Amino acid sequence: MKDKTYKLAVVGATGLVGQTALKVLEEKKLPISEYVFFASSKSKGKTIQFMGKDYVVRELTENSFDEGFDFAIFSAGGETSKKYSPIAASKGCIVVDNSSAFRMDKDVPLVVPEVNASEISKNHGIIANPNCSTIQAVVPLKVLDDKYKIKRIVYSTYQAVSGAGWKGITDLNNTMKGLAPSKFPYPIFNNCLPQIDVFLDNGYTKEEEKMINETRKILGNEDLNITATTVRVPVMNCHSESINIEFENSFELDEVFDLLKNSPGIIVMDDIKNSVYPLATIASGHNEVYVGRIRRDFSIKNGLNLWVVADNVRKGAATNAIQIVEELIKLG
């Protein structure tokens, strides 16, 4: 009997996440026999090279999913997802959505395969990919939560401009030359901006709220104490995060190292005598989450500090979405 193959749509194929998804798909060689690439009317007719062939980009319309797809990876912003994902799902296509449109919906699984792959089978046609800064955090946090039970988390992030797509990259390049910013509120060159997304009434930014709510949903603990400060920094690619954790239970540092070293998707890089720790330039282009500076927080009982770095466009978006598709394929 011939092995089953699948048909996949990539929506937002011309974007930063979409283009990276194509690279990851080329690397992973999934049993997908047919690919169709969609973007806005602006990109209609453009040619994309993929797996040695030329593909013509199609404009996304309400009829795009009539021809039948098994899966679609959406990376085209929240408004596009809100409008077109339900249409795709209604036609039998399972959508993996990179936007924030459905992440907090009760009926939509929010999935990081290393953490909660079992949620995938509960989908009703849409599966949400978490925010990039959340994905890389929960990979090590889940391992530690299972063993020591997390009581409180303090996030401080140092997020790359690629997290804001092509426009974010253009802003860093332009402001480096002294030109005015068009994406961020201030020049990102030579600045750290303590604002990612809009401010909410409670003084937090939407990015901070996303990290807090999504972490609670993924770790399955609605009452978990979490605070976050998210900062845009003049780094081209890869988010870095300082994560301070307070556990219910005591831990041995050696055991923490072993747990993290033996967990899928994590690379421990921690040799302070030789100044070895995760860096954006090391993680860029890789699919794993890098963890280092693993040390006790002596100011509290059962406290731990981590430095966590990952490629936000890969593990924070494209790779995670494709891992979800891999899991869907395993489910048959």
| Helices H / strands E in the chain, number of each | 9, 14
Write the binding mask 107 to 146 for ligand NAP: x where contact by CB under 6 A, - elsewhere: -------------------------x--------------
Say which of 132, 192, 238, 286 is annotated catalytic: 132
Q: Is the CB of 21 or the CB of 153 nearer to ligand NAP?
A: 21
Is 317 a binder of ligand NAP (CB under 6 A)?
Answer: yes
Catalytic residue at 238?
no
Nearest distance, CB of residue 213 and ligand NAP, angstroms: 15
Classify residue 102 by burial, with Cβ atoms within 10 Å: 0-12, 13-18, 19+.
Answer: buried
Long-range CB contacts (within 8 A, 24+) of 77-86: 77/12, 80/11, 80/12, 84/11, 84/60, 85/126, 86/125, 86/126
Q: Is the CB of 42 or the CB of 330 nearer to ligand NAP?
A: 42
* Distance (Å, whole) CA 75 – CA 72: 10
Q: How many residues bind ligand NAP (CB under 6 A)?
A: 31
| Residue among 109, 113, 140, 165 that touches ligand NAP (CB under 6 A) | 165
47 DSSP β-pair partners: 56
| Residue among 9, 16, 48, 111 that touches ligand NAP (CB under 6 A) | 16
Catalytic residue at 132?
yes
Is 43 a binder of ligand NAP (CB under 6 A)?
Answer: yes
Tally the C-alpha atoms within 13 A of residue 120's C-alpha that lie toward its C-beta: 26
All residues at 6 or more sequence positions from 106 whose CB lies less than 8 Å from its CB, including other chains: none
Residue among 187, 6, 5, 202 nearest 94 (CA):
6
Is 77 a binder of ligand NAP (CB under 6 A)?
Answer: yes
| Residue among 64, 65, 69, 80 that touches ligand NAP (CB under 6 A) | 80
244 DSSP β-pair partners: 154, 305
Both tokens assigned to 67: 């021809």
CB neighbours (10 Å) of residue 152?
15
| Residue among 109, 113, 140, 163 that touches ligand NAP (CB under 6 A) | 163
Could you tell me the maximum CA-CA distance found in the chain, to the nearest angstrom? 62
**Cβ atoms of 218 and 227 closer than 8 Å:** no
| Residue among 8, 10, 18, 214 that touches ligand NAP (CB under 6 A) | 18
| Residue among 85, 162, 175, 240 that touches ligand NAP (CB under 6 A) | 162
| Residue among 64, 72, 75, 245 that touches ligand NAP (CB under 6 A) | 75
Is 76 a binder of ligand NAP (CB under 6 A)?
Answer: yes
| Residue among 8, 10, 15, 136 that touches ligand NAP (CB under 6 A) | 15
Write the binding mask 248 to 277 for ligand NAP: x where contact by CB under 6 A, - elsewhere: ------------------------------
Is 313 a binder of ligand NAP (CB under 6 A)?
Answer: yes
Q: Which stretch binds ligand NAP (CB under 6 A): 47-55, 75-83, 145-153, 225-233?
A: 75-83
**How many Å separate Cα 326 from the centre of its chain?**
16
Both tokens assigned to 295: 């040390």
Residue found under tokens 């949400």:
128
Binding site for ligand NAP (CB under 6 A): 11-18, 38-40, 42-43, 60, 75-78, 80, 98-99, 132, 162-163, 165-167, 312-313, 316-317
